[in-house]
Amino acid sequence: MKKVSIKDIASMAGVASSTVSFVLNGKARKMRISETVEKRVLEVARNAGYYPNQLAISLRTGKSKTLGLIVENIGNIFFATLAKTIEEEAEQYGYRVVYCSTENNASKGKELINMLSQRQVDGYLITPAPHMEEDIQQLVQLQRPVVLIDRYLPEVEASHVLVNNAEAVAQGMSHLFAQGYKEIGFVTVDLDVMQMEQRLDGYIGALSKEGIRLNKDIILKIPYTHQREEAVELIESLLQNNPQLEALFFATNYLGILGLESITRLKMAIPQDIAVISFDDHDIFRLYPPGITSIQQPVEAIAKKAVALLMEQCENAENNLQKTEVELAAKLIVRGST
């Protein structure tokens, strides 16, 4: 069976061979090829069973057309949705995505960066674990395209895209105050990462603005490495030791889910005995009676902006593009728990 060539694809699609080459190399947008023509070429190539030799393309162009995505935990719904959108968006530029998780372990993060470098990925999208500054700064110094997502590292001159965490928490706190709640506990992760620090700052700032004295006894920091049962028991203890609590604010959705289990074990009713709000929405929060109020991050917008910034770096590597800092607004979803 004769191997299908670019010239054959061009003939079947009714376009020039150069147009086929640009489309198959992910340069349709750059060369101002219409979406209609791009789709026709890709469909003809697919139906004809044409698969470009990626190794040959990489050797010729110096690009692998692959991006490396490193997140905290691909099993978390936030990061899973982020990865799915990044994959779909990257495909529009002709790129594939290799993704992996650090579990907030800097050593693992270093190994993953080395692995992706050996695979010669063209750019990196990274949710940095604590203490990954040196490894990511090295990528920046080597002028490798890098965009940080969900959090950033103040010491590293890399572009980043994330939600305005402090403002989002302040919005949730304002809602609780408006409902008459004053004794509000805060459950977060005991982890040295920027977004969790910002969320705690948002909580403390909201209390100060409302004229409420900060009570550190109702701030619970749960170690990231704690087992599920241990975390549930810690939240139970917080509630039992502080009967004055009227509401709990969870700094991330997996803690919110653990909190629901703790509340159920204590046979407390939501919101009659305790109101609940959580950062990061989740299907469970939508379905769990009476519905859990949450802070919804614009996951798709974060993913699309991050890919756009990375593509700009990949396609303009010689221009030394400036660091870009993007903060997006979150949305308060009010449900029956408050």
Domains 6-52 and 165-296 share a fold: no
Domain boundaries, the chain: 6-52, 60-163+299-328, 165-296
pLDDT at position 53, please?
Answer: 56
**How many angstroms from the chain centroid is the CA of residue 267?**
34
pLDDT means per 10 residues, the chain with 338 residues, are 78 90 78 88 83 53 81 91 94 90 94 92 95 94 93 92 97 98 97 93 98 97 93 98 98 97 98 97 95 97 96 76 89 98
Q: Which CATH architecture group holds 6-52?
A: Orthogonal Bundle (1.10)
Peptide bond into 154 cis (omega under 30): no
CATH domain 165-296 topology = Rossmann fold (3.40.50)
**How many angstroms from the chain centroid is the CA of residue 37?**
33
pLDDT at position 5, please?
Answer: 82
Joined tokens for residue 128: 């940095």
pLDDT at position 229, please?
Answer: 96
pLDDT at position 59, please?
Answer: 45
The pTM of this model reads 0.80
pLDDT at position 52, please?
Answer: 62
Could you give phi then psi for residue 37, rounded to 5 degrees?
A: -65, -40
What digits encode the pLDDT tens for the residues 195-254? 999 999 999 999 999 999 999 999 999 998 889 999 999 999 999 999 999 999 999 999
User: What top-level class would CATH report for the domain 60-163+299-328?
Assistant: alpha beta
